[in-house]
Amino acid sequence: MNNFRTESDSMGQMQVPADAYYGAQTARAVENFPISNLRFPRQFIRALGLIKKNAAVANTSLNLLPKNISDAVQKAAQEVIEGKLDSQFVVDIFQTGSGTSTNMNVNEVIANRACEISGGKRGDKSVHPNDHVNRGQSSNDVIPTAIHLAALDGIVHNLIPALEELHSSLDKKAKEFDSILKIGRTHLQDATPIRLGQEFSGYASQIAHGIARLKSLEKNLGELPLGGTAVGTGINTHLEFSRRTIEGIARETKLNLREATNHFEAQGAIDALVEASGALKTVAVSLIKIANDVRWLGSGPRCGLGEIKLPATQPGSSIMPGKVNPVMCEMVIQVGAQVIGNDAAVTFAGTFGNFELNTMLPVAAHNLLQSIDLLTSAVKVFSRRCISGLEADAEKCVGNIEQSLAMCTSLAPEIGYDKAAKIAKVAYETGKTVREVALETSGLGKKKLDELLDARSQTEPGTGVGMAAGG
């Protein structure tokens, strides 16, 4: 028993590890929820520290919290912000749907550390977790505020810069590969010519659109539920508390933050989180498309498409010497799959906005913040270890063009669709090129055919005018 101390909450006494900064409610939650090894991530704990620190500042400015207690709370909260007390946040993700256990975990850790800072000892309640650290707050507005804050901070300061780096790499490759002609592909079948640079410009544009989608999230994620307390009415809080607290957080984080215009929407629903998760899913889908294309374009090295060369990052087989696999592409695709799955969980969590409170906040936080972290890391690695080192095999690209049956497309406006289709069929059956069959059967001279079959001209708008088709 020397390794424990006794603390109490409204339900009675609890034994708490003697060296723990958390208290009775946290210890009770640890007993109640031995569900997984999943805990809230660093950025979420940091967000809670920011809220508690700036709440103390606001409450003191409103003469609602003695300065000496406020100073101690602020110092303890700063240690939470800096990650010095991370080992003390021990409550499972799968817990009460409001996240009350985690809010109290933070309140107790800050209160007990503040007791020490003030010259007291852990558990003496000279700084109280509810009366002082949680003053003017409820788990019902603090936890969704922390999710908004952590998500927006991660998107603005981590994910968007990572995507901007990837966009720059893709745009650079688009310019570098602009002169390289290759065959286009639709339905995984040969299509008309394209420039490799054009293909990569499409990838760069996907990422640019993704960045724009993420930037648009600032409007709704930046609207914080803080100030609504229990059910959105703001009971037990000062009218100025939320505004002053949020202004302090905004200064520290350099984020565009404001109080929710309607606290009943802000606490009864998590639509902003569902929207954010959807945007992250869209980015994931874009990344999967890009990574999969790069994987296929680099397939081979001798028996695949082989139009680009991927950087060799590690041996690819335990049995086949010399084999090198597109591991960075595969990593990105797996991350994308996880993000899509996370979005399903966040979307379902959004349906549990029951009356005045959503009761799936912890699982929504876990999945949303994991998606941000995974995408940030994957994008950085993909950009630096794959995209930036790509090389084109111009000879392989050009060689495929002359063999393509789709070259007959540029003949159609001149000789008609049916005749062009017949040339393609004969070329396929005989193994000849479209150029060879057309010279034998189309009635067009070599000079005219060379003009019509010029691959470069087929990659520019306005060529082949007069005939439209798809597929």
What are the residue numbers of the active site? Answer: 187, 317
* Enclosing H/E stretch for 213: helix 196-215
Place of tokens 């406020």: 70
Are 24 and 92 within 8 A, CB to CB? Answer: no
- Provide the token pair at 450: 């060379």
Query: CA-CA distance, 55 to 23, in Å (whole number)?
Result: 21
Query: CA-CA distance, 389 to 327, in Å (whole number)?
Result: 14
- Provide the token pair at 416: 């008609």
Are 134 and 48 within 8 A, CB to CB? Answer: no
- Hey, how many other C-beta atoms are within 10 angstroms of the C-beta on 49? 24
Q: In angstroms, what CA-CA distances link 457 with 174, 245, 324?
A: 18, 61, 36
Query: CA-CA distance, 325 to 331, in Å (whole number)?
Result: 11
Q: In angstroms, what CA-CA distances link 355 with 248, 267, 290?
A: 31, 9, 42
Position 166, amino acid: L
3-state secondary structure at position 70:
helix
**Helix, strand, coil proportions of the chain in percent (round to 5)?**
60, 10, 30
Residue 232 Cα to chain centre, angstroms: 29
Place of tokens 């339905």: 187
- Provide the token pair at 9: 């909450």
Beta bridge partners, 258, equal 223
Q: Which candidate, 277, 279, 255, 247, places its Cα nearest to that of 350?
A: 277
With both helix axes pointing from N to C terminus, report the angle between 327-350 and 361-385 in degrees, rounded to the nearest 10. Answer: 160
